[in-house]
Structures are given as structure tokens and as C-alpha cells.
Structure 1
């Protein structure tokens, strides 16, 4: 399984993959790359190139599998998701890299376990909002250029509750990047927006509930998804990743970029995104 993976030159300005200050396995697929943290058995970052003008509508292949290029013990495989309510949450969405001549292989590539992370099984309005963010950004970016690069992964925090040898992430992050052209003859300008999904349960006794779940062999309780638009700089701080030029290109208004979590904008609909 060899593929060139994420292309840092895909947009009209260079946008490198996030850089991690830890040991990672760089796994390349068709149109995307996963940076796998072998200690946590989950991705610390992913990057995908999306060509909106060449996307194809393909049937879902399913068939989740391990990536044979890394040890099974370095991936959160089928055992993590068996006989519980946890979903295999795609990090790079199934539809994102599915464009061009290699679309079929790209779709199949998204069903490898390094491209998954445990998420609450309950589908709700907030989850649909999370899945729709990239479509919304792509439609907006199409005014200027039909190409988008998206980076996403769980926030791998030390306090994530353990379950079957894997820390279950409470937060997920996403950064969308595209090129804007203010005028036909203007130089291309990088633009980005950042988002965080929070699946932490809204329980006053979260520590007690988590411990009970651990002792009972059950997955930790996960609550309704909440989606926030956040400063890209906050994502860098949360994850410890070097996001290169992404933070400086953030479209969240500068007035909202001071303080701590209070500056996060909770989203109830795609129309509330600040671009």
C-alpha cells in the first residue's frame, strides 16, 4: 500500500502537514496522510487534499482493516469497538479524498484503523453539523478556488479515560484551509477556520461515572456532541502541534482571539460559522 499522500503544494500557497513533537508513524494514502501516535494507538494529525471540481460519488466500501505497515499493537483495532456503543469515527471523511482517477482506492483507504477514533455512537444534530463543516467550507471556497485542505484528529490528552488499552478522546479538532483571491489579479491568500468537537458528557459526577465504567469493563460515558469554532492558535495549544501558517491565516475575527476557552463560539448551525 503505497501512495503519495497529502500534498503540501496542493493549494496555491504551501501548507505543510502539522508537525508533532513526539514519535509518529507517517502513513500515506491516496490524497491523504495519517500521523499515527504508536503509544496512544490513535492519530495525532491527518491531512487531506480535496478537489471539489473532481469529486466522485461512490458506493461505500466499508471493510475496516489494520494497516499492515505498522504493528497491530500500535493501532486501535476492532477489539476497541466490539460489543459496545462506540463508533469508528472517520478522521479523514470517506468522501473527502474520493476524486480523480484514483477515487476508488482513496475511498477504500479511508477504512484503515489509523484513520479512525472512538466516538459516541448516538447520531444527533451536532454530529451532522460536524460532518457538514467541510462541505460548507468547500462551497464557500469554491467562490475562489475549488480546492481545500483539511486537517483533523483527536486531541490526545493525558486525562483521556482508558478503555481496552486506548485512551478515549474527549475532544476532536479540525482546521480547513483554502486560498482566497480578493480580486482576479490579486495574489492568493491562505484562509483557515478551526473547530473543536467536544464529546465530554455533561455530568456533575464525571469522575465517578468514568471509574464505574472502567471497573465494569464498559466504555467511558460520552455525551451529546458540542461543536465550537475556535481560534486555530488554540488548537495548536491544545494539541502541542506546530500548525505552520494555519494560525496566522485564521478567519475568526481578531476581536474573538483573546482570552481562553471563553472565546470559543458554540455552533448550532452552519450559518453561524464566521468566515
Structure 2
């Protein structure tokens, strides 16, 4: 039985959430922080993960989750009960009005299944915690091969952790660019990033990925640049998934990723055009975990 403080409903206080554990892997993997000190952020701890919220963008700058493959709990019912985090102002969060009556999905940043481990009650609480608007960002609702590759990567990480009783840390977020198109009081991010960290042969290792939903300017440049019809969500392109250097994620986002750029498993590219590897299937990743 879950106590009132652990409630999945709006009345839950969230006061007992421990959040992301920087020492979960053994080698420390700090919570990502913006290197620009003038940009305000708020750290919100949940069950087995934390969100670094940017109130000015009403979206997360970064999230970090601990995955314990040995203690994952299966068959936790999905609630789909999205709600505001009561610890911060609703005006700081991209709420239901952003997603109502349009083609945008609430894209989970921390995946629903990743923090769902531990006792049954804790697993249920973790599942519910992922349905806060602070853990969502607008994504195109069109399912295509690029998005399938991105989701396949997420499944690969979770399945590997479960199969081999491994611990993983996964950092995720949108690339928040000043030029992101505005819509209903938010700017819709066109790219998302993910960094997986784990212990490989006794040492810290990492790999990084970018999901791009930018509009295809070669097909309909005028519509893409104009933002489609007034009041409609910005036109988004087909998803494209890339494996990229961890260092590039740090540069794109302005985040301090601690030791992860130097722990990158992807060999450095000899030519600029080969620096980002477009993935057509999840098993094309250079990971070797």
C-alpha cells in the first residue's frame, strides 16, 4: 500500500523523493548542469531520476535516471495520468494546453520503464513520477523509421540491463536552441539527445545519440520556415537518429557532462562528415556493452 506522500495523484507531496544518484555506477556521474550561470535551473528529484528544469523554456534542460537491471519490475500498469509538479509554478511547466487538439505527443524524457525497479510500491511510484509535465517535451506524433531506431536504442539499453543484471545511467533532454519555433507559449525543440553511461571492463564508458525532428527544408522550405498556418504547431520532419560524440552533446546543449566526454566509446571520426553516424537500426550503434 502506498502512503499519501507517495500518491500518484495531485495530492502527493513528492517531498520524500531522493532523485538521481550520482554514485550509482561506482564512478561518479554528476547530474548535468548548464555552464551558463545566468540561466536559471531548478533540480527536481523523483524516484530514481531527477529533472533539471529550465523555467524560462518551461522544459527540462536535462534528465538523469538510474537503471538497475537486476531489480527491474515487469508489468507495472501504465497510468497515462499526466500532471503538474506541485513543487514549482504551473507557469514554469509545459502543461496540457501545449498538447491539446494537435499533432504533438507528450514525449517522455525519462522513459516510463527505466526507473521502475525496487519493491513493488517503489516501482509503481517511479512509474507515476515519469508522468509529470516536467518530464515531457513536445514531439511529432508520426511514427517513422527514425523514431523506431531511437526507441529501439532505448529498448536495447533497458533489455541489456535486465538480461545481464547491469546498472546503467541514462541522461536525456531536448536541445534548447534560441531559434526553436514558438507555439502556445513554448518553443518546440527540434532535437533531443541521450547519453548512456555504464562500467565497461572496469572503467566508466559512455555513448551519445541525437534524435532530430527538424523539418525537411529540401521538400517544403517555405512552409517549414514560415511555421505553417497561424496557430498550428510547427511542421516537424521525419525523425533521424545519429550516434554522435559525447563532446558534441555538451557543445549543443551547453551542459557540463563531467567525465563522460573522455569516456566515449565511439572512435573519433577522421573526417567531419563521418563525425555523426546516422543509424538505420539500433544494432548499428558503437556501444559494446
TM-score (norm 2): 0.87
**TM superposition shift of 1:55:** 0.8
SS of 2:91 mapped into structure 1: helix
Query: Corresponding residue for 1:185?
Result: none
Out of 77, 98, 104, the position equivalent to 2:95 is 77
**1:114 aligned onto 2:131:** no
CA distance in 2 between counterparts of 1:261 and 1:168 reads 27
Out of 38, 47, 51, the position equivalent to 2:55 is 38
Query: Corresponding residue for 1:272?
Result: 284
Out of 147, 152, 158, the position equivalent to 2:178 is 158
Query: Corresponding residue for 2:224?
Result: 209
Cα deviation, 1:25-82, whole Å, max 9, x if unaligned, reads 1100000000000000000000000001111121101110011111111110000000
**1:94 aligned onto 2:112:** yes
**Aligned ranges for residues 1-16 of structure 1 at < 5 Å?**
1-2=14-15, 3-16=17-30
Query: Corresponding residue for 1:250?
Result: 264
TM-aligned CA distance change 1:262 to 1:164, over 3 Å: farther
Q: How many residues align?
A: 266
Runs of 4+ in 1 over 2 A off after TM superposition: 137-145, 203-213, 258-262
CA distance in 1 between counterparts of 2:113 and 2:163 reads 21
TM-aligned CA distance change 1:125 to 1:106, over 3 Å: same
**TM superposition shift of 1:139:** 4.7
Query: Corresponding residue for 1:227?
Result: 241
Structure 2 residue runs of 5 or longer lacking an equivalent are 1-13
Preserved CA contact (<8 Å) 2:181 2:227: no
Cα deviation, 1:90-122, whole Å, max 9, x if unaligned, reads 000000000002100000000000100000001
CA distance in 1 between counterparts of 2:264 and 2:21 reads 21
CA distance in 1 between counterparts of 2:171 and 2:194 reads 6
Structure 1 residue runs of 5 or longer lacking an equivalent are 182-187
CA distance in 2 between counterparts of 1:241 and 1:31 reads 21
CA distance in 1 between counterparts of 2:256 and 2:222 reads 31
TM-score (norm 1): 0.92
Cα deviation, 1:205-234, whole Å, max 9, x if unaligned, reads 445434252x52000001110000000000
Cα deviation, 1:249-268, whole Å, max 9, x if unaligned, reads 001013x2x56564100000
